[in-house]
């Protein structure tokens, strides 16, 4: 798939997810956003770029932290995401936040104009992650900070669910997720990529979070509400019901005594600076 095709595919995927994105009653992206903002330590008055802003899990709390004298700019490749986020900005009456459709890998913004660049659960969607890192480096002021989150691995108890989807996933995607040379496959690779892009003072930490679901049906609704939706879309229409039934069977085995399900989500946080 060409870079243009990949961008269009990602934008379309999140357009289709945008109506329910982060809105099915599961505490997920905001959990990681809060920790990322704590790690980066935003200050009042700072100029912040939120790359791949989605529905605002990072965008809105960042705006609160920088205050009226600061500013937060959100960009996202998905027009559907931006349309809904802009509506939320207006409804909240926020004057220090903007959001627009833009390619995270090639943002058309003034160089050296941000104190902080934030990218939560975004880097692995870029056709060329190192090119994106170089672009973000150029947007930071000297001494500016970068904060990134990435998923650090799947809960091994979900292997049964993964097996249901695996026959439908393109081999190229499976390889991209495990390729030992990929800049996003490990903290070590990612830190090397950051160094290649010109960043210094690089550090990473891995954290694990319990993500609670009321039951198997909520997990399915949640999986359709964000990037994981792509695995459902790989399944042919005539097999959707069969796959859904198999996934429900696998999830039913994971129920806690009260009927709910808890998924252990590993998240990697990486901080860096522009020297």
pLDDT (0 to 100) of residue 1 = 60
C-alpha distance from residue 66 to each of 5, 46, 118, 219 (Å): 36, 6, 13, 34
Q: How far apart are CA 18 and CA 84, in angstroms?
A: 8
pTM score: 0.95
Q: Using alpha carbons, select from 157, 135, 143, 177 the residue that is nearest to residue 51.
A: 135
Q: Which CATH class is domain 3-274?
A: alpha beta
Domain spans in the chain, listed from the N-terminal domain onward: 3-274
- The values of phi and psi at residue 64, to 5°, are -65, -40
Q: Using alpha carbons, select from 23, 75, 32, 31 the residue that is nearest to residue 54.
A: 75
Q: Using alpha carbons, select from 175, 167, 171, 173 the residue that is nearest to residue 235.
A: 167
pLDDT (0 to 100) of residue 154 = 86
pLDDT (0 to 100) of residue 174 = 86
C-alpha distance from residue 267 to each of 10, 103, 204 (Å): 21, 24, 10
What are the average pLDDT values for consecutive 10-residue runs of the chain, which has 275 residues? 77 94 95 97 98 97 98 97 97 98 97 98 95 98 98 92 96 87 95 97 97 97 96 97 98 95 97 95
With contact defined as beta carbons under 8 Å apart, do 14 and 80 qualify? yes
pLDDT (0 to 100) of residue 37 = 98
pLDDT (0 to 100) of residue 230 = 95
Q: How far apart are CA 50 and CA 74, in angstroms?
A: 5
């Amino acid at each position: 798939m060409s870079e243009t095709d990949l961008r269009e595919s990602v934008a379309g995927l999140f357009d289709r997810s945008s109506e329910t994105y982060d809105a099915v009653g599961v505490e997920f992206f905001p959990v990681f956003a809060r920790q990322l903002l704590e790690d980066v330590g935003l200050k009042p008055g700072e100029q912040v770029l939120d790359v791949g802003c989605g529905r605002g899990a990072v965008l809105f709390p960042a705006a609160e932290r920088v205050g009226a004298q600061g500013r937060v700019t959100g960009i996202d490749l998905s027009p559907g995401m931006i349309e809904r986020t802009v509506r939320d900005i207006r409804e909240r009456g926020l004057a220090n936040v903007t959001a627009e459709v833009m390619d995270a890998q090639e943002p058309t913004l003034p160089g050296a104009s941000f104190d902080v660049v934030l990218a939560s659960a975004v880097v692995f969607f870029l056709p060329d992650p190192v090119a994106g890192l170089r672009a973000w480096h150029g947007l930071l002021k000297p001494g500016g900070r970068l904060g990134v989150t990435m998923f650090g691995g799947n809960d091994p108890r979900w292997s049964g669910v993964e097996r249901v989807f695996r026959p439908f996933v393109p081999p190229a995607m499976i390889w991209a997720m495990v390729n030992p040379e990929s800049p996003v496959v490990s903290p070590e690779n990612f830190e090397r990529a950051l160094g290649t892009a010109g960043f210094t003072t690089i550090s990473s930490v891995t954290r694990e979070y319990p993500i609670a679901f009321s039951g198997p049906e909520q997990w399915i609704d949640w999986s359709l509400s964000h990037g994981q939706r792509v695995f459902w879309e790989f399944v042919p229409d005539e097999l959707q019901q069969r796959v859904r039934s198999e996934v429900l069977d696998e999830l039913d085995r994971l129920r806690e005594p009260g009927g709910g399900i808890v998924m252990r989500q590993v998240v990697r946080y990486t901080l860096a600076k522009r020297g």
